Amino acid sequence: MVLGNFNNLDLRQDKDALWKNFLLSERKKQNIYKDTFAKMCFWRTRQQQEVDLVEEKNGVITGFEFKWKSKRNVRLPKTFREAYNAETKTIFSQKKYIISIKTLRN
């Protein structure tokens, strides 16, 4: 049950999906507040390679991969990078985001 589930995040099975949804919403808000008119979409191949968020602005394609926890360096799929000449890749993780929130509060 997703609705009404107020368990601690450590006990939730859907924390990765919640994290992705939160970051997607925040990115959309940031683009609106800054009047950034980026086209937003998702990317997936038939082999199930995926990029959580793809933005295109002024011909520049940026891929975003959202992970709650990652034990290794997360990279955008090679197929995506080569097909779209993605110059920029941005990886969000729980640890980096929490650090940036703490920095803003100080």
pLDDT > 70: what percent of the chain? 76
Please give the mean pLDDT across all residues of the chain. 79
Domains, the chain, ordered by start? 14-105 (3.40.1350)
Q: Residue 46 in contact with residue 28, Cβ under 8 Å?
A: no
**pTM, to two decimals:** 0.75
6-44 pLDDT, tens per residue? Answer: 887 778 888 888 888 888 999 999 999 999 889 999 999
Q: Which residue has the tokens 């926890």?
A: 69
Q: Residue 19 in contact with residue 68, Cβ under 8 Å?
A: yes
Q: In the predicted model, is pLDDT for residue 93 greater than 70?
A: no
Q: Which of 79, 40, 44 is nearest to 57 (CA)?
A: 40
Q: What is the pLDDT of residue 28?
A: 92
